[in-house]
A and B are shown apart, each in its own frame.
Chain A
């Protein structure tokens, strides 16, 4: 007798909750017709960006691959004799089937080259399609950080910047001068 009463009450309460929701705004988004808002710092697909001069920002320092907790980034540094000390990655590979989108690579990157962007649409039927090479990763723009150019700050010589021409740099010392 007691049980029957409890069942009936639960039924009514349940129906009441359903009825109440009829008048609230639905939270379901009609994805993909309707795109959800993702904040700029949302951690999705990884890209390699370019500096304001349009050159590759990545200097192949290996910090992202070292920071990666699932070891899904690999690269090889190469020197470019035409660009003096300017380094770039010979290859740069991210295995997105292993990536956990933790953003540690972006935090480790000293040149703002590697960035996570608000794009998560990476589903594939074959895992091998989730292996992104440098051509797949490199975008034309600066991404989230518009102004930073590592080689303007670094002391090394590049194609368009000789010693002493960087930011906060004095002209090279004349070693033969004994002036104080």
Chain B
């Protein structure tokens, strides 16, 4: 800790920081542009000038850039010094010389860092009377709009896109006062994290294109905390709504999880909420119904009808979902009973999840948050395609490879925030990152070593590494010399690290990979390191579902087939994505009544006798458990229209309607609000006991008031619905959370889940998050970053996993079909968003060139592939990274029904253009 003196007042600050960060941390307003808490300082914009004095006798001082000045003990500066003020005013005046007169039509207006800084600096009147420089814009794809005239040349975009996010296709062109930030030519920004440019750009050069199509100002958005549901990482988002439409998603800072950045799937995948395929009405479909309903009767009330069915059922099957909230799954389990609750995932996935839980619960190694991943100094990824399965984690690893070179930077006494100097010192040195898998992406270029092999071989490599590190760990003997060499390199890199991270994926369905990862982590723990483990799970609440337990989907099919049950309740789960069509068809055919609760139409909802419309994530309160085992609360951002209700509320209503005749309510039927749901969830599994600590309960008040979802300047209250009614109805009352649907309520420091949007006087842009932190870049004040439900017992000694698989042997006729996730295309809900849909690639089959030759297939040729009873038209990609004897199938919507991994005889299953013609 150091003491600095700012305008003759002393402040205690962290000496590792620069003066700008230190001042901002104390709420002192120093304007800045090019500095960013996650990207350090380069001193490019000259906006953060302050005056520094030698000592208390120094009267003249000198101008310094506060972002480039270390906050060493005794630093004496002045922000209010007239000369410094005049300097900053001149800088902003220069920057504004060419800035267009666009604010009214600029999407950044009202949350623009440039506007904020201009006001903060006091530049109010334009003196420059001459002509402004202009630029042509580029079409940058479905996510981002480009308006180059607005640029102030702070270089943040290229620093973020190229240096931080590893992108290649955005750069700076031109010279002197006419530099241009864009692509070499028009085209979609390829990087998976391009959406962050919207927040990184201090002005409106890069704006959100999806938001543009239903634009509204930040102050008009009704907003609340949401948790991204498009992968298992659980990034925090702020969802904003107006007039019943979800308008946009912005990043929500959580120091432990996503920090300052989101991936594009999370940011632009929200539009499924506004989809025309949303289910809005509860319906009973009589035509499908076999016997119970007389034709003369009038259409029954869906809820009563469902309750009747449940009451009269001879056995009931409740199918949960890894994309439904914890509370919804608990509600279903409570309604149907423990033994009738099925996880709604296939057996293999269930086994993987329970093995992962076992590894985390019984082993000595804790799971890693994304923040931990950023801090790790050596990473070994086993069989996970992070960029496509869990993109934000890949972004974290791009930062982790800087950790080891940073030690040299420290030796050179370069402060870590001094970004330009750090890059100079580091050059191209990268910390160890070992990637194994069976699909190559651009992310692999950042790896120290890559290894493309079949899942069993990847697991063997993992076991071999564990054997090389740990004493007593089972080893693999019959490895090829190259793999042996690689094993040594990995083992050496991991043992030289202090905080190694082992990541394993679940996509390939390989239990051995999970066990190998556990062995490596345990071996490192045995060596006195502080390793972390991270597992990439299939969906947003897979971990929560695993904690609840229950049978697999096949068990549910068996229960119906064997006549143990005749009524099915499906909770937010498209079974056709999880099992092959014939099985699911037979299942629905055999069931007497099918009750489906879901939000968007899918093949499963088409089979419902009773269809109950479920609220989507931003329309409901609930809890997700992410892959780390961190439970996080999301809040209802707005009340959905139609009959839409949260799933847990439908199930609670169903429980009440079912028990109406008996008159005794129990279990889910006694739930009246979300707090009841949380208390019931807390006793649903031993690990969930602390679920109530995730966020304040509904009765939480500050100064006797709820906290508002709307901003102080939310407009149009008396005219938004005046075309429908002149009466101004009272705002809806929220019984489920301490948030209100109005602009009235407590405004002041709040526990982090209750903050609606980051805003502070003078700080309208998202960079207002600085004012919510005690130390810039550190945790929020009163941060509740979620509760880690699974903590290891550090004293335990690990029992090694010993089942080492045999090496993968390609066979003559059979190919192992492996799933290839796609960041755009593999997630069920985000695919419904038009912008994401535009980025979904064509389905392809990836083969090793030698396999391509065997099958006489050329690169980019089109084939028809007969898989599990359906024919799919696919493009052939011949890629050396696909292991010989395997074939990769891209998981895009067209092939979502295929269950992979599976063995396929490609010689028979493939029909090419030639064979088609021949036939």
Taking Cβ atoms with an 8 Å cutoff, the residues of A that contact B are: 59-63, 65-66, 68, 70-77, 79, 85-87, 93-95, 97-98, 110-111, 127-128, 131, 133, 150, 153-157, 163-164, 166, 168-173, 175-178, 180
Contacts and interface: CB of A to CB of B under 8 A. Distances in A.
B914 interface: no
B247 to A, nearest CB: 11
Given A63-B104, A155-B102, A180-B176, A172 B719 contact: no
A77 B215 CA distance: 6
B675 interface: no
A72 B728 CA distance: 12
Contact of B717 (A71, A128, A176): A71
Contacts of B110: 62
A153 B212 contact: no
Interface string B165-200: 000000001111010100000000000000000000
A154 B173 contact: no
Contact of B105 (A156, A171, A173, A175): A156
Given A59-B105, A87-B105, A180-B176, A170 B718 contact: no
A131 B178 CA distance: 49
B217 A76 contact: no
Contacts of B216: 62, 76-77
Contacts, number: 135
A71 B716 contact: yes
Interface string B712-745: 0111111110110010000000000000000000
Interface size class of B (residues with CB under 8 A): 35 or more
The main secondary structure of chain A at its interface with chain B is loop
Interface of B: 100-105, 109-110, 129-137, 147, 149-150, 173-176, 178, 180, 212-217, 219-220, 243, 713-720, 722-723, 726
B134 A94 contact: no
Nearest to B130: A168
B716 A74 contact: yes
A16 to B, nearest CB: 52
Nearest to A131: B722
Given A93-B720, A156-B105, 4 more contacts: A61-B109, A62-B715, A76-B243, A164-B134
Contacts of A166: 134
B217 A62 contact: yes
Nearest to B175: A178
Nearest to A164: B134
Contact of A175 (B102, B180, B214, B726): B180
A154 B178 contact: no
B178 A173 contact: yes
Count chain B CB atoms within 10 A of each CB in A74, A75, A111 and give the residue with the most. Answer: A74
A147 B216 CA distance: 28
Contact of B149 (A65, A79, A93, A163): A163
Nearest to B220: A62
26 contacts: A60-B215, A61-B105, A62-B217, A66-B220, A66-B713, A72-B719, A79-B212, A93-B720, A93-B722, A94-B719, A127-B726, A131-B719, A131-B726, A133-B723, A150-B101, A154-B102, A154-B105, A155-B134, A156-B149, A163-B135, A163-B137, A170-B132, A171-B134, A173-B180, A175-B173, A175-B174
Contact of B715 (A68, A168, A170): A68
Contact of B135 (A62, A86, A154, A173): A173
Contacts of A60: 215
Contacts of B214: 76
A72 B718 contact: yes
Contacts of A127: 726
Given A59-B105, A175-B173, A175-B178, A73 B716 contact: yes
A157 to B, nearest CB: 8
